[in-house]
Amino acid sequence: MENQNNKVYQLKIKAHASCSSCHTLFITNKSKLNEHVLLVSNIPPYCNQHTLHRLFGKCGNLLEVRVQKHENKPINDDQTSDNFPPPQILGYKVAFITFQSNKGINEFIKKTKSTDPWLISNESTKLITGLRRWCLDYIHEQPDPDKLKLEVDEYMNKYDAKVKQEQEEEIANDGIPDDEGWVKVSSRGRNAGVSRTETNQKKSKRKEKKKRKQNDMFSIYKYQIRESKRQKIAELREKFEEDKLRIQAMKEARKFRPF
């Protein structure tokens, strides 16, 4: 096959045969040595992953159909729960279509030479839009209670086993220094550390607030004591000056005046 990489193909699609207008998809061949990938852009909101799988599945066996908002910004695939589907991509989007072999790419290129638009829906697979589509999306987003309960129970069992193992390791290593001589302070033992829970943090904040209030009261008392001392010193100075004047007057009164 000749090198068709990075060449942009145009593919016209129609919602159904009775539609008078078409929508154009732009497809770029992003194949590498062992990867046979097509980048599809300008995908309308009413085309989802199943629609793309049905359209491009006619060209060959597909390994993956990955839909994302932008080409260089993949979605987060770290799904921790099977009961909650990933958030839907709103608006126009792009998709990476991965074929099992290069035959799928060749078959797609052959089909693009035809000017006939590809139909998204037919009698067997009808395109669902509007209010019915929103209702189906809402129903699809609701988890099954029984499956959700099993998943939660399994998660909690794993979590309890993990916590129990950590506690056993903590008890076994309590008071034993590490290679550098440091002893880890745990929530057990003679000098037990305080766990940083929400209740303990609130309690420590209340103690700190009470201590700050007491310090403020002590500072007010210190100010009063300081002012009383200053006033007493001023009174003593004033009395001292009065005593000096009285003594001076007494000395002058005792002078001997013969004439």
pLDDT tier for residue 75 given thresholds of 50, 70 and 90: low
The mean pLDDT of the chain is 81
C-alpha distances in Å from residue 60, one per residue of 32, 103, 122, 245: 17, 7, 20, 121
* 148 vs 72 pLDDT, higher one: 148
| Cβ-contact 69, 75 below 8 angstroms | yes
User: What pLDDT score does 2 carry?
Assistant: 43
User: What pLDDT score does 137 carry?
Assistant: 78
pLDDT tier for residue 172 given thresholds of 50, 70 and 90: confident
What is the average pLDDT across 147-162? Answer: 92
C-alpha distances in Å from residue 30, one per residue of 80, 98, 138, 204: 30, 10, 35, 59
User: What pLDDT score does 161 carry?
Assistant: 95
| Residue with the two structure tokens 């390994």 | 63
pLDDT tier for residue 87 given thresholds of 50, 70 and 90: confident
pLDDT digits (tens, 9 = 90+) for 187-210: 665 555 566 678 888 888 888 888
User: What does the DSSP assignment read for 55-115?
Assistant: HHTTTS-EEEEEEESBTTB--------SSSPPPPPPSSEEEEEEESSHHHHHHHHHHHTS-
Can you tell me whether residue 1 is helix, strand or coil? coil
Quick check: pTM over 0.75?
Answer: no
Q: Which of 14, 248, 25, 230 is nearest to 121 (CA)?
A: 14
User: What pLDDT score does 1 carry?
Assistant: 40
| Residue with the two structure tokens 């003679």 | 190
What is the average pLDDT across 172-178? Answer: 76
Report the C-alpha gap between 28 and 50 in whole angstroms: 20
Q: Which of 21, 57, 20 is nearest to 38 (CA)?
A: 57
What is the average pLDDT across 136-145? Answer: 83
Can you tell me whether residue 52 is helix, strand or coil? helix
C-alpha distances in Å from residue 194, one per residue of 59, 178, 188, 212: 64, 21, 9, 22
What is the average pLDDT across 46-71? Answer: 87
* 161 vs 112 pLDDT, higher one: 161
* 184 vs 163 pLDDT, higher one: 163
What is the average pLDDT across 118-141? Answer: 79
pLDDT digits (tens, 9 = 90+) for 219-253: 666 777 788 888 899 999 999 999 999 888 888 87
User: What pLDDT score does 241 carry?
Assistant: 92
Report the C-alpha gap between 42 and 49 in whole angstroms: 14
| Residue with the two structure tokens 């007493």 | 232
| Cβ-contact 109, 69 below 8 angstroms | no
User: What pLDDT score does 187 carry?
Assistant: 62
